Amino acid sequence: MAFPIRAITLDLDDTLWPFAPIGARVERVLHDWLTQHCPLTAQRFPIEAMRELRERMYVERPDLAHDFSQLRKLSLVRAMELAGDDPLHADAAFEAFYDERNRVDFYEDTLDALARLAARVPLAAISNGNADLARVGIGAHFAFQLGAREHGMPKPHAGIFHAACARFPFAPHEVLHVGDDIEMDVVGAHRAGLRSCWINRIGAQWPHEDVRPDLQFTTLAELADWLDSTHTMETVAA
């Protein structure tokens, strides 16, 4: 399928890099930091207990469901207070966590594909997570980054998609959103009026009959191939 697009928005976790290895790593790094600097907290809240505390914070603060960073900080403050450590250490503990959170191992095709896409159309990131493009090292490819924390509402709400389109500024139907998550990315973008591209690296089956992605690929490189082909056809037609 070929159709004109003027910009692309991209999901981050599990679209540009796998998140599972990061999620496992950050918990260990944070616990090691606490063991060194806040031993009472590390003793009372080993990894599993800290995870359970954070989940309780999610329940207590539904108003922060879109802000993983703030929930993490509040969880650290609560843990330190309960354990008897100085909660003023929470910011430094979060920084240790956040530094590791932004150490990513890209999918093999990601970096080359990003460069190819950015050479064709402007790119933006739309994410419910808290990765930082500058820390990750790919900020130069993007016109901007819009997170659920900054917007105040996560995907799949239409508002975050519309806010990104307005910042380009292009109409929603002129923007292609690319992501791995069926509901958050593809269905959310479709209902917001954007074109949608499903990056299905794991061979999942599409579950909906009433909504389908405009494009479906197994890698970001295939999307770059499609965009190159589309732009070539547009140049020939012109």
Q: What distance in Å separates the CA atoms of residue 127 and residue 139, rounded to the nearest whole number?
A: 14
Q: In terms of DSSP bridges, do strands 215-217 and 144-147 run parallel, antiparallel, or are they unpaired? A: unpaired
- Name the CA dihedral angle for 128, 218, 215, 210, rounded to a multiple of 10 degrees: -70
* 204/209 Cα distance (integer angstroms): 15
Distance CA 11, CA 101 (A): 16
Q: Going by C-beta distance under 8 Å and a sequence separation of 6 or more, which residues neighbour residue 78? A: 53, 57
Distance of alpha carbon 147 from alpha carbon 149, whole angstroms: 5
Assess whether 11 carries a catalytic annotation. yes
Active-site residue among 11, 14, 181, 185? 11
3-state secondary structure of 178: strand
Q: Is 7 helix (H, G, I), strand (E, B) or coil?
A: strand
Distance of CA 130 to the CA centre of its chain: 7
SS (H, E, C) 83-105: HCCCHHHHHHHHHHHHHHHCCCC
90-101 vs 20-37: helix crossing angle, rounded to 10:
150
Q: Going by DSSP bridges, is the β-strand pair 144-147/123-127 parallel, antiparallel, or unpaired?
A: parallel
Q: Residues with catalytic annotation?
A: 11
